[in-house]
Amino acid sequence: MIPQIPERVRTVQNWAGRQINRAQQFIRSASISQCEPDDLQPDMNQQVQASDGYFFEKFSQTAVDDKEIDNDTGQLTIVKLSINDNKERIQVFQDLYVEALYTIVHKVGKSIALPEAQLCKYVQNAFQVDDSLHQRLLDRAKKEKPPIVLLNVLLLEARDLIAKDINGFSDPFTMMGVVPGSRRKGNADREAGNGDHDDGDDHELETPPASPHSQKQGNVLHRFGGSFRRRIGSKKSGKSDTKSIPAKYIKASSVQYKTLNPKWNEKFQFIVDDVTSDRFHMDIWDHDDEEKSVIDAVTSLNHITGLKGLGRYFKEVTQSARAGSQDCTDDFLGCVTIKLKDVPSSGLEEWTVLEKRSDRSEVSGQVRLKLWLSTKEERIDQQEDDLMDVKQHIELIRQFALHEIRVSGAPVSFFNGQLSDPASTILHQHAIQGDLTELHQFMCQWLAYSAMINIGISFSFLYDILSRLISKWAPLALDRDEENTLAESFQTFDEHCKKAVMDHRVNVATSKRSQLESFSNMLRCWKLMRESPLYEKCLPFQKSFDHDINAILQKSADEYFQVILKKWEDEQNPCNELLNVLQALNKACGKIPKFDPIFKTFTATNYGQITYREFDRLLDEYICSEMMSEKKSDLKTMMMSASKSEGDNEELLITILKVHLAAQEFRQYRLPKQKYRLDKSDWSQIFDRVVVKWMDTAKLKAFGRVELACQLDATIQIASSEIRHTSSYVDVCHIIDQYLAIWERMHVSDAVLRADLTEKLVQCICKIAEYYADRVLAQLASDGFCGQLQAFIPAALLNLFCAAVNNIEQVRRSLVVTEKLHLDELVEQYEQKTQQKANWKCEVEVELDRCDKYLKTRVPPRLESFSLPRGGRLETADGYGETPIPYNSTQNSRLSTLLHRNFVRVMHSQVNILLPLFDECIEENPGLEPVFYQRLYEAWSVLTDFFHAGGKGISLETFETIPAHVELVSKLSLNQMSTIRIIEQYYKNLLKEQNDVSECKYGILNVRAYYNSNSQTLVIDVIGAKQVIPLDANGLSDPFVVIELVPRIRYPTQPVSKTKVVSKSLNPIFDETFEFHIPPKIPTGGMVHFVVMDHDFLRSNDFAGEAFLDLTEVPGFGTAGVANTLRQFNLILIHPSNSNKSMIEVLSSRKEDKEAQNFIRTLSVAY
């Protein structure tokens, strides 16, 4: 345990604070991690690498350009919208512009309308039209014939109607029509003169009856025509009223029999003359069998085209109804009137409460209607085209979207379909006026936005649009022309996706997350389209999506292989051609982990397996073709020549070895436990010979680099660190790293040969490190850092030293190569082939350990120059003088240039020198006052904190592993204790030793004890002993027991008592009682000491064992139990160990301490 600093030692504490602050300053700035070569200037080590033509670096270079082509259309922005000079295109553009303005001028429906001028201005900006052209086209739009406004009515259902029939139900049907509002007053005035054909009272239309007589006539004409306020004129007035009473205003629904909750789901359409004043009116009636002629009449009413026929027909119906009016009951069920100006542009669908015609009517229930307005254009010189509205809507969506993207300035891929309010308003109006359903609008959006793929529209956005389109579509919802338009769009999108998959290796940069997400969303959208029922309806008899994907991937791999083969064709050097082809394939295979999850997510396709198998087949065919080639420079001849030992073509050797590495990398992309065609091509023997040849060449190159690196050595300084290095260590570490990296990529098919080469590789690396360390230290010695150095070393020499030891430490760190060698895997292969134990593994590990120890032992002797001279001594004068500072100012300032490990080594060397000095100080000054040792204890605490430096120096755990430190702390802790505390601790240790005994070697003493607090008497009853050790020649003993209270310094007046002697027994029975008068307060460590002795007549008594009874366990003392109750204790006898030897030595050294000497004398008393 590291001792704590007492607060009372203020002088030492202040000094410690100053030293710790100084230590922390330079330790904080010291770099713990090694310096990476990347931190150096780019040309620092180029000379060394270039000296052998970049022999090692060539294997990490690739002829294939690793830079991915950036074809990210998702980052395109729109700067300007313009139209070329094509007159036909300009005319189409202007026609679309006029259509947009026409839509604005003729808005229909109630809505939160924006000002017409604002909408026109938006269109002008979206089309980028100047003011003069805008005004000319606006005038053209206003001159167009206004559209015919249509009211579309969808009669859905009714509920809770009145029961009119005897069976408790009704047979409801409806009559409906549009009531003109602008001519209503004039017609009423004309109708007042003809009472025979009066409509009767119409409260809903707020028109007073023409005459009192009309209220009394409950004829059929009143029922069918009264609500619509139609004048059935005579022949004389037929000409004047022909235009005011068109027959198409009144329509009837079917009859729903025996129900109070009828469901119709019937659609009607009416022409509207004036949206601002016209109203929609509908009556619901109960149909009776005798009135079937009336239903037929109303149905026929819709087929009458002339006013003359209409008047004659209604006259007959009226007369027939009057004839039987007395037998008819009131079968009116309710009516609804809705002002057309209140119908929103988006339509109206709601439950409407049925209203009464008069106070006599009994009405209940609601009817559900859906009403919306649309238009039908009748333009001059316009050709008929059923898809005109759809095409115009598509072009408007596209034009507005392009404008919104241009205004936002964001990439096209950021667009999510959100249009501004003016654009949404115009498109909404255009859809209404073109009677485009929600399905048609989704179709237009898909057609518009899918055409923008080439400029980078988001596939995620297209997926959302397509999802809405598919969800809204139902069979027969689109006509044939619309389905054909969608089919063309689907085919175009299909071809785009196929081309994208064909070129994905080139066009999709896997390093960019945005491009991978775009490609992923394209597949998702493509899958949704291909597997939808809408696609099957538009494009029937197509192959499955997964079948097409598999075929495209195979074709894509084939085309990619042919492209790279053509690109890297080299008739003069087929090895180089093969190398480039392999590297290009590896680059493509390297993208498999990126693409494979995408294809597996959205298709039932194993992208990796299909791609690799196709590459494997094509590569095998290519190699077979090259190996059978009869060219002058063929692949087979070049590879055989490179493997021959007598050859000296280094470039060819490097090329063949790079082919080997590329082929090994290509094999790594295989799926396990599957066969491939390339397995038939066995080049292992050729490659093994090439590897052996390369190993010999690489060894010479490596040592040449080390020598040159030492010659070109130069000081380097990292900007972010004060750690001092020279450039040579970077080159040496680079050589070792390159050596191992290349070896890790190599594959030697023969396990025995690979084991042999591995051992040679390790030996080579270790020799490189050792050679470099020797060269560095030799250079340091030649610079003057040798022999007996002065106390103050010059700064320049210290800098050289720091750089040298740091360089060696960095190289030592680079020798952690066990994982890169894959020894365990190689051992398994070796033993499986040879059926012998791989002893070479131990040799490899021993070689690495030996090299590591060699480098470590080369550094510490140099580190001692930082330490105090070996002849140094600690001052022991009285008073609190300053503890020796382990560094001078020059050394102090240079420590920050050491690596952390070297810095800790300096700390260790200082500790190893200071520990003997402290120990020597204790040995030379025995028996002094405890305060002296306390000062030494505090001084060492200061130094311990100093070397620990808040966790940046020597760790506290490491201190505990230093034997000299542990021994010093123990000595100082003991010597600074007072005599009485040492004595108390002595007995505590003995008691603990007794309690920890696990076996009874010396016997057991049985006693009973209690304390009488009233008389303050401790009663001890010695019962007997068992298994006492024999100490006499006869194999027995003559035991007796000595009883005393310890420590004696706490009980100086208490007598020492003895039991009687029991002769010739190993299990004596004493049965004696002893009393000791002591106060109830137990002193620290108070206990009863029992000593079992063997009585001898002629010689001194022999010691048989001893035992201790802690007074705190005796009943009557405190909480130990109730007084006057004897408690038996079975005490195990022990022999004292040497654990208390240091305490006895300390007390013996205190010659001037009477208490200490008395205690020592009591230990030697013979009983």
Cα–Cα nearest to 210, from 225, 228, 231, 224 = 231
pLDDT band at 264 (very low <50, low <70, confident <90, very high): very high
Superfamily, domain 148-376 = C2 domain (2.60.40.150)
Topology agreement, domain 148-376 and domain 994-1163: yes
pLDDT band at 112 (very low <50, low <70, confident <90, very high): low
Stronger pLDDT, 957 or 784, i.e. the higher one: 957
Q: What percent of the chain has pLDDT over 90?
A: 24
User: How far apart, in whole angstroms, are the C-alpha atoms of residue 682 and residue 669?
Assistant: 18
User: Rounded mean pLDDT of 563-571?
Assistant: 87
Stronger pLDDT, 57 or 449, i.e. the higher one: 449
Superfamily, domain 994-1163 = C2 domain (2.60.40.150)
Cβ atoms within 10 Å of 731's Cβ, excluding its own: 25
User: Rounded mean pLDDT of 1098-1122?
Assistant: 82
Cβ-count burial 606-632 (b if 16+ within 10 Å, e if not): bbbebbbbbbbbbbbeebeebeeeeee
pLDDT tens for 33-43 read: 333 444 444 45
DSSP for 709-778, please give it. HHHT--EEE-TT---EEEHHHHHHHHHHHHHHHHHHH---S-HHHHHHHHHHHHHHHHHHHHHHHHHHHH
Q: Contact, 1026 vs 1037, CB < 8 A? A: no
- Asked if pLDDT for residue 232 goes beyond 50, the answer is no
Terminus-to-terminus CA distance in the chain, angstroms? 40
User: How far apart, in whole angstroms, are the C-alpha atoms of residue 657 and residue 659?
Assistant: 5
pLDDT tens for 952-966 read: 777 878 878 888 888
- pLDDT value at residue 1124: 56
Cα–Cα nearest to 670, from 558, 557, 555, 586 = 586
Question: 39-44+692-865: which CATH number, 3.40.470.10, 1.10.760.10, 1.10.357.50, 3.30.420.40?
Answer: 1.10.357.50
pLDDT tens for 299-350 read: 555 554 444 443 444 334 434 443 444 444 448 889 999 988 888 887 888 9
Q: 791 is written with which tokens?
A: 């106390």
Q: Where are the alpha helices (DSSP H) in 373-437?
A: 388-408, 421-433
- Asked if pLDDT for residue 980 goes beyond 90, the answer is no
User: How far apart, in whole angstroms, are the C-alpha atoms of residue 287 and residue 212?
Assistant: 28
Most confident of 239-243, 253-257, 859-863: 253-257
- Asked if pLDDT for residue 223 goes beyond 50, the answer is no
- pLDDT value at residue 393: 92
Cα–Cα nearest to 486, from 428, 521, 523, 440 = 440
Cα–Cα nearest to 1068, from 1020, 1018, 1128, 1007 = 1007
Q: Give strand pairing partners of 1019.
A: 1010, 1075
pLDDT band at 228 (very low <50, low <70, confident <90, very high): very low
- pLDDT value at residue 895: 55
pLDDT band at 26 (very low <50, low <70, confident <90, very high): very low
Could you tell me the CA-to-CA distances from 43 to 48, 416, 479, 739, 772 in Å, in that order?
10, 50, 73, 21, 22
Q: Which residue has the tokens 């498999």?
A: 592
Q: Contact, 181 vs 282, CB < 8 A? A: no
Q: What percent of the chain has pLDDT over 70?
A: 75
- Asked if pLDDT for residue 352 goes beyond 60, the answer is yes
- pLDDT value at residue 1075: 92
Q: What is the domain partition of the chain in residue ranges?
A: 10-30+867-975, 39-44+692-865, 76-147+384-490, 148-376, 546-679, 994-1163
- Asked if pLDDT for residue 656 goes beyond 90, the answer is no
pLDDT band at 444 (very low <50, low <70, confident <90, very high): very high
Backbone CA torsion sign across 283, 288, 294, 300:
positive
- pLDDT value at residue 292: 54
Domain 10-30+867-975 = CATH 1.20.58: yes
Cβ atoms within 10 Å of 1099's Cβ, excluding its own: 6
- pLDDT value at residue 793: 63
Sequence-distant (6+) residues with CB within 8 A of 95 are none
- pLDDT value at residue 46: 77
User: Rounded mean pLDDT of 69-92?
Assistant: 64
Output the pTM of the full model: 0.62
* 412-421, 490-499, 752-761, 1118-1127: the lowest-pLDDT one: 1118-1127
- Asked if pLDDT for residue 647 goes beyond 60, the answer is no
- pLDDT value at residue 78: 61
Stronger pLDDT, 1086 or 717, i.e. the higher one: 1086
Cβ-count burial 45-74 (b if 16+ within 10 Å, e if not): beebbebbeebbeebeebebeeebeeebbb
- Asked if pLDDT for residue 183 goes beyond 90, the answer is no
Most confident of 5-9, 668-672, 1089-1093: 1089-1093
Stronger pLDDT, 321 or 804, i.e. the higher one: 804
- Asked if pLDDT for residue 1022 goes beyond 50, the answer is yes
Q: Where are the alpha helices (DSSP H) in 836-899?
A: 840-858, 860-863, 889-894
- pLDDT value at residue 80: 57
- Asked if pLDDT for residue 21 goes beyond 90, the answer is no
Stronger pLDDT, 585 or 877, i.e. the higher one: 585
pLDDT band at 720 (very low <50, low <70, confident <90, very high): low
One-letter identity of residue 1134: I
- pLDDT value at residue 588: 93
- pLDDT value at residue 148: 84
Q: Contact, 270 vs 150, CB < 8 A? A: yes
User: How far apart, in whole angstroms, are the C-alpha atoms of residue 665 and residue 825?
Assistant: 18
Cα–Cα nearest to 1107, from 1127, 1135, 1085, 1079 = 1135
* 51-55, 273-277, 841-845, 1113-1117: the lowest-pLDDT one: 51-55
Stronger pLDDT, 327 or 586, i.e. the higher one: 586
- pLDDT value at residue 467: 95
User: Rounded mean pLDDT of 707-724?
Assistant: 74
One-letter identity of residue 237: S
Cβ-count burial 535-571 (b if 16+ within 10 Å, e if not): beebbeeeeebeebbbebbeebbeebbeebbeebeee
pLDDT tens for 823-878 read: 888 888 888 888 888 888 888 888 888 888 887 777 655 555 444 444 444 544 44
Stated length of the chain = 1167
Sequence-distant (6+) residues with CB within 8 A of 723 are 30, 31, 35, 806, 897, 898, 899
User: How far apart, in whole angstroms, are the C-alpha atoms of residue 270 and residue 868?
Assistant: 113
User: How far apart, in whole angstroms, are the C-alpha atoms of residue 901 and residue 955?
Assistant: 12
